[in-house]
Amino acid sequence: MAGERLVLSGDFKVLMDKTIAVLGYGNQGRAQATVMRDNGLNVIVGNVQDEYRRLAEREGFRTYDIAEAAQRADVIMVLLPDEVQPAVMKEVNAAVRGRNVVIDFASGFNVAFGLVELPDSADVVMVAPRMIGAGILNLHRQGKGYPVLIGVEKDVSGRAWDYAVGIAAAIGAIGRPGGIAVKVTFKEEALLDLLDEHTNWPLLFASFMAFFDVATKQYGVPPEAVLLELYASGEMAEVASSMASMGLFEQLRLHSTTSQYGQLSRAFAFYHYVKRLVEKEARQIWLGDFAREWTLEQLAGKPKFKALWEAARSSELARAEDALFRVLGRRQA
Ligand code: NAI
């Protein structure tokens, strides 16, 4: 039953006597380390010498180089960008060799597609927040939880699920209003994460770009009006928030009936085209094609990535946005 994969409560007793090394003090690292310390846990930070490490020091954490932090720890939380994890995990593996530590990832990507080496002796778990770091801290201050996807890749101790649930509780996700953990595999987490990034957002971006071109060039609508309609007014954020609180379809009741009819009729008409696209992207992700594409792109020095950013920045939409945002005071001249 799907319900068996849901965890609404839990505690972090299993972590009480442990040293927890948070590797990385960025979006997730800073938030998770802070909440765990507030919860009375023994947290240290492992980081290279940079501004993130200085921030961790200023905020009162004991900081170490990554290998030393891993050596000192019982639980190692890998909260570093996905692309730097393969190199960093080599250091971690050398530091923990033979010890039964717990290694926690906040995303399934590298483990699911075999891009990181995992020590034989370690439990390997995943606690993947569905919340940005700043949101984690805000909700923590309000005493509220948030959703996480949790998983176990390797269970050497026999207690790996206890650790995954314990970490989810320790970082303030479960055991508080709004908190929920769903048990998934690393690969399922990676599929959801990537499929969202490869379908929903690019479809929205492509739709916005085409909308902008058609409205401004073929119908002569002022670009400012188009951008405000698309996203610059902030109305879209309100709609997204209503989807989360009221439901995808129920929030339509906040719109006019003309709008409801237009949205529903087109959504059902577009479904079949879009489903084929979603199936193709899902297959590419599941078979590891995207992991290979992105790995090769990084090895080549990211030429396509840089060209895509250049195309985005120099587009007419971006230039019109820049002009509008200066008028609105959202960007400096
Ligand atoms: P981030 O980009 O904020 O990480 C910054 C940290 O990485 C800093 O501590 C910096 O010193 C370190 N770092 C950067 N380059 C390095 C290098 N070459 N060698 C060693 N350390 C380096 O990372 P973020 O966004 O917090 O992501 C961490 C993990 O959390 C990832 O697996 C990500 O997929 C996952 N995640 C992130 C979310 C978010 O809110 N950004 C949401 C859910 C999961």
Strands 63-64 and 42-46 come out as parallel
Instruction: State the closest ligand 1 atom to the C-alpha of 110, by its place in the atom list counted from 1.
Output: 32
Q: Report whether residue 134 contacts ligand 1, using a CB cutoff of 6 Å.
A: no
Which residue has the CA at smallest separation from atom 37 of ligand 1? 28
Q: In a mutational test of the pocket of ligand 1, which residue from 34, 79, 88, 137 has the highest number of ligand atoms less than 8 Å from its CB?
A: 79
Tokens for 201? 């957002």
Q: How far is the CA of 79 from the centre of ligand 1 (A)?
A: 5
pLDDT at 62: 98
Q: Report whether residue 107 contacts ligand 1, using a CB cutoff of 6 Å.
A: yes
Amino acid, res. 242: S
SS3 state at 153: strand
Give the tens place of pLDDT for each residue, 296-326: 999 999 999 999 999 999 999 999 999 999 9
Give the tens place of pLDDT for each residue, 24-47: 999 999 999 999 999 999 999 999
CA pair distance 34, 247, nearest whole angstrom: 32
pLDDT at 201: 97
Q: Report whether residue 28 contacts ligand 1, using a CB cutoff of 6 Å.
A: yes
Q: Are the C-beta atoms of residues 53 and 63 closer than 8 Å to each other?
A: yes
Instruction: State the DSSP code for 123.
Output: E
Q: Are the C-beta atoms of residues 121 and 98 closer than 8 Å to each other?
A: yes
Q: Are the C-beta atoms of residues 143 and 38 closer than 8 Å to each other?
A: no
Predicted model pTM? 0.95
CA pair distance 240, 122, nearest whole angstrom: 40
pLDDT at 227: 98
Give the tens place of pLDDT for each residue, 218-258: 999 999 999 999 999 999 999 999 999 999 999 999 999 99
Strands 180-183 and 147-154 come out as parallel
Q: What's the N-to-C CA distance of the chain in angstroms?
A: 57
Instruction: State the DSSP code for 253.
Output: G
Amino acid, res. 115: L
Q: Which of 329, 299, 11 is nearest to 176 (CA)?
A: 11
pLDDT mean over 48-74: 98
Question: Going by C-beta distance under 8 Å and a sequence separation of 6 or more, which residues neighbour residue 72?
Answer: 19, 21, 44, 64
Q: Report whether residue 79 contacts ligand 1, using a CB cutoff of 6 Å.
A: yes
pLDDT at 2: 58
Q: Are the C-beta atoms of residues 75 and 101 closer than 8 Å to each other?
A: yes
**Partners of residue 63 on adjacent β-strands:** 45
Q: Are the C-beta atoms of residues 160 and 102 closer than 8 Å to each other?
A: yes
Say if residue 294's pLDDT is above 80. Answer: yes
CA pair distance 196, 271, nearest whole angstrom: 16
Say if residue 1's pLDDT is above 60. Answer: no
Tokens for 78? 């890998």
Q: Are the C-beta atoms of residues 321 and 313 closer than 8 Å to each other?
A: no
Say if residue 63's pLDDT is above 80. Answer: yes
Element (H, E) at 28: helix 27-38
Element (H, E) at 180: strand 180-183
Question: Going by C-beta distance under 8 Å and a sequence separation of 6 or more, which residues neighbour residue 222?
Answer: 216
Average of per-residue pLDDT values in the chain = 97
